[in-house]
Amino acid sequence: MTQNAVSKKEKLRILIADDVHETRRNTRLMIATMDNVEVTAIASNGVQAVEMTKEYHPDIVILDINMPAMDGLTAYKHIIEEYPGTGCIIISAENDPTTVKAATSMGIQEYLVKPFTTEELEAAIKRVTILMWETRQKIAKSHHENLNNIAYLKQLANQYLKEGRTDDEATQIFERLAEDPQCDVRWLESLAMMYAVRWEWGKLKSLAARLEQKINNGK
């Protein structure tokens, strides 16, 4: 792996999905010989790949093009809708130009034809890793810029309320909304609840005073 990639994360997390047991086994054994890479999940079809991505959050998914229940391209489409920074290597027994074009149009970075060698797989992982980090940097930059957009903040806040989130990221969003002197009371009440859940009593005490003032003023 590249030094830049390794410095960002100790080990790359890989998910393998293929309906052929021998392919899953051989791919796992190949990755076991590579430095700074680990297989964190193995699926036998596309549906399992999507579900395991939600559980294990791999950096790169290696997906067979033809699998029961859900094919590799469809699985990756579902994966990047929720985890857009996930890299992908498609593997197939056929070098079909139409399929390669479809994969490329989806943003899939690598396409390997079976049987492939350890060297070919490792080279593909290296290339995907570079592109993956570039994509994640762009996403992070876009997210940072959007944090200055009140409408975007409110959209995130509503989403986090539905999910019942009280983690650092969710708290930060509500704190950004609370910076507005005219902030809606419901955002302040939600932030107060987060502080209580997180046992941040100092922040809660300060916010409670502000909430009381707003309520008394009928705002």
CATH 3.30.830.10 given to domain 3-140: no
For the chain, residues classed under CATH 1.25.40 are 147-216
Structure tokens at 102: 């479809």
- Kindly tell me if the per-residue pLDDT of 192 is higher than 80: yes
Strands 12-17, 60-64: pairing kind: parallel
pLDDT at 7: 41
State pLDDT tens for residues 141-181: 776 665 667 778 888 899 899 889 999 989 999 998 888 87
Its CATH architecture, for the domain 147-216, is Alpha Horseshoe (1.25)
Percent of the chain with pLDDT over 70: 92
| Adjacency order of strands within the sheet including 60-64 | 37-43, 12-17, 60-64, 87-92, 110-113
For the chain, residues classed under CATH 3.40.50.2300 are 3-140
In angstroms, the CA 195 to CA 171 distance is: 8
- Kindly tell me if the per-residue pLDDT of 49 is higher than 70: yes
CB distance 197 to 166 below 8 Å? yes
Q: What is the mean pLDDT of the chain?
A: 88
Q: Specify the pTM.
A: 0.63
Residue 165 has, within 13 A of its CA and on its CB side, a CA count of: 16
* Section 181-210 average pLDDT: 89
pLDDT greater at residue 9 or residue 124: 124
